[in-house]
Structures are given as C-alpha cells and as structure tokens.
Amino acid sequence: MDEIKSSKLLSKSELQLWLVLFMCPKLGIVALKRLELLLPNLLGIFKLPDSELPVFKLTPMQISKLRNPDWHYIDRLMEWLDKHNVSVIPFNHEFYPTLLLNTSRPPVLLFTQGNIELLNQVQMAFVGSRNPTAYGCQVTKNLVAELVRLNLVITSGLAIGIDGIAHKAALSANGSTIAVLGSGLNNVYPKRHLSLAEQIVEQNGLLISEFLPDVPPIQFNFPKRNRIIAGLSNGTVVVEAAIKSGSLITAQSAVEEGRDVFAVPGSIYNALSEGCHHLIKQGAKLITCVDDITEEYSGLPQPVHYSMKKGLAGDKLLASVGHDTTPVDVIVQQSNMPLEQVLERLLSLEVEGLIMSVPGGYLKVCT
C-alpha cells in the first residue's frame, strides 16, 4: 500500500488543485467531464489566462474561486488527510473504481481510508432494515460468510442493522469489506459504529466518502451514499426492508445502473418483508441460498456444500422449524415426535448451526 500511495496517487500540488476544483461552486461531474474533453489535462485549467476561462463556460464566481481559493483551509485539510492516511482519488484516476465511474453520477472525488485495492474487486452490496429480526440477522451472516469464502468484497453503508451485521460478518470470516459513509471521514456515523469503522481499516478493509472530512451526517447525504453503494457493486442484496426505506433507494439505483438486485423473501405477515416482496414482484431475483447469487456471475467458484448438510430435506424435525420463530409446541406437533426427543434434536441442530434459539422458540438458518 505504501508503494501504491507514493508512486501512483496524487502529488501534493495535484491534490491541492483537485481540492480547489472540488470546492468550486456548481462545478460538478458533468461540468468537469465537459472540461476534460476540451483540455489535455484537466488541471491545466489553472495555467490558462483569465481571458480564456469564459470560453469554457465558467462563471465569474467560479473563476474567482479558482483563482483565489482559501489556501489556509486547503492546507489544514491536507494536513488532516495526511495525518489520517486518507487517499483522495479523482474520477479520472486509474484507481477510481470502474463500475462507479460508469454510473450516471459518479462522485468527483473519493476520500478513502484503508485498502484502496478493494475498489476494483468484485463486490456484493448488502442493505436492509435497521431493526432486523433474528431471521434477517442470521440470513445476512450466512450469505456474507459464504460470499467472502469466494473472495467477494462485501459493501454496505455502516448503518445500524443489516449494514453493520454484514460488515461484522465479513470481518469475522476474515473477508474484505467496504463501508460507504453518508458523512465525512472525520464524522463517522453512527457514533456507535466508530469502533467498527476502525476495525474495518485495521483488517485491511476500506472506508469511503464523497464528502469533505468534517461534513455532518445530514439526511440529504444518505441517498447520495446509497447510489455509491449500488454503483460500486456488481449486485445488491436486500434483506428485510420496509416498503418505504433507504434500502429500496439503493435497489432502485442498482436497477438504474443495470446492476443485479437480489431479495431475500420473508413472512407475508412481517412488515419488514414488504420491501423485498415488492422488489421480487418488480423483477428482483428471489434468493434462498448463496448459489442463487453466484450462478449469475461466470468465473466465480461455486460454494462448497459440506456433507453434514446432506439429507437435511428428509429431516422431519428440521422441516418443522420455520424461517420465522417457531414455538417448541408447534415443532412437537408438526414433527409428531416426543418432547424429550425434540429437545435433544433441537440442541443438536443448533450446535450444527442449522437453527438458532430465539425468544419464543427456534428459527431455521440453513439455506
């Protein structure tokens, strides 16, 4: 990583000029891409005489900001970036993620902390409820664990709920994960995930933001974050989402960019399943196991299915446990087995990781 930073990322002077461009009002990605078509080097605009700048459709205010930036602020900003090992990647840099660049609204700059080599690796996004059920939590853990075994990077938004569970599951499985923030890197949100953010960087993961470091987590920023999550990823997995939620915004962004959307089904009586069921009706792929995801991508190794799971379809007691909480008396009734035998078998299945004990009974977690 040190070699990459010193040899291929921005020099100090280039970083200064990119920050000036970034902070110039109303000079977004569309305008900069237009300028790039007219100039051999985008940063060459700083070498042009004032008389030529209006030719490039720059307003007097923009010209003033380019000519007289707040150098004191920029110097302090660069000191902070250097102190915290933050790499800044412009949209036309070779390390800028290709999938994100090919979206309709790629960020002008990415402020990154951690392993930037993850940016162009195969990624799968996970989004969902901030208050998931035990079923949603376990499904996320299982899918993530199997995907990281196939060397996929898990990308999410560091939020409470499914986001955080996905990040933690990737780290627990010694996999790679990317967290996209809806705030600046000096304003990690939510605060309770500050230690998780630090752990992601420590375990060779990556934090990303398109905002200046001190930008707070205001509501308007999160749809922007969601488009980056979808834009970075080959596909987006939605686990438990209400019909009106940010997860569906991410899914919609993925659809607009021609990416795959996968939805985990749930109970028709659970409001958190309504968003997933809506996506399935709209054409998202219903998934019940990791194979449903990996079969969409050629070149990925297929998951290994361990022998202890063979013959599970014929396990009468396991078949009596649902993906929603199933009381013990219902399991006894449906399996038609004695209570003592049921309790013994439930313990065995829990040890094998096929079911889990939750308040009110058990739920199935195998796929």
Q: List the chain pLDDT tens, one digit each, 367 residues.
A: 343 443 358 999 999 999 999 999 999 999 999 999 999 899 999 999 888 888 888 899 999 999 999 999 999 999 999 999 999 999 999 999 999 999 999 999 999 999 999 999 999 999 999 999 999 999 999 999 999 999 999 999 999 999 999 999 999 999 999 999 999 999 999 999 999 999 999 999 999 999 999 999 999 999 999 999 999 999 999 999 999 888 999 999 999 999 999 999 998 989 999 999 999 999 999 999 999 999 999 877 655 544 334 344 347 788 888 777 888 888 888 888 888 888 888 887 877 777 878 788 887 775 4
| Token pair belonging to 172 | 């627990």
Task: Write down the pLDDT at residue 350.
Answer: 77
Task: Write down the pLDDT at residue 334.
Answer: 85
Measured CA angle at 347 (ends 342, 348), to 5 deg: 100
Domain ranges in the chain are 2-83, 117-294, 307-364
CATH class, range 307-364: mainly alpha
Residue appearing with tokens 């739920």 = 363
How far is 329 from 260, CA to CA, in rounded Å? 41
Q: Is the bond into 106 cis (omega within 30 degrees of 0)?
A: no
Length of the chain: 367
The single-letter DSSP state of residue 179 is E
Task: Write down the pLDDT at residue 117.
Answer: 96
Task: Write down the pLDDT at residue 302.
Answer: 59
How far is 354 from 305, CA to CA, in rounded Å? 13
Secondary element (H or E) of residue 260? strand 260-264
Are 230 and 253 in contact, with CB atoms under 8 Å apart? yes
Task: Write down the pLDDT at residue 8.
Answer: 52
Residue appearing with tokens 């977004």 = 28
How far is 250 from 238, CA to CA, in rounded Å? 9
One fold for both 117-294 and 307-364? no
Task: Write down the pLDDT at residue 356.
Answer: 78
Task: Write down the pLDDT at residue 366.
Answer: 52
We find that the CATH architecture of domain 117-294 is 3-Layer(aba) Sandwich (3.40)
- CA dist 11 → 5, 88, 112 (Å): 10, 10, 16
How far is 241 from 140, CA to CA, in rounded Å? 13
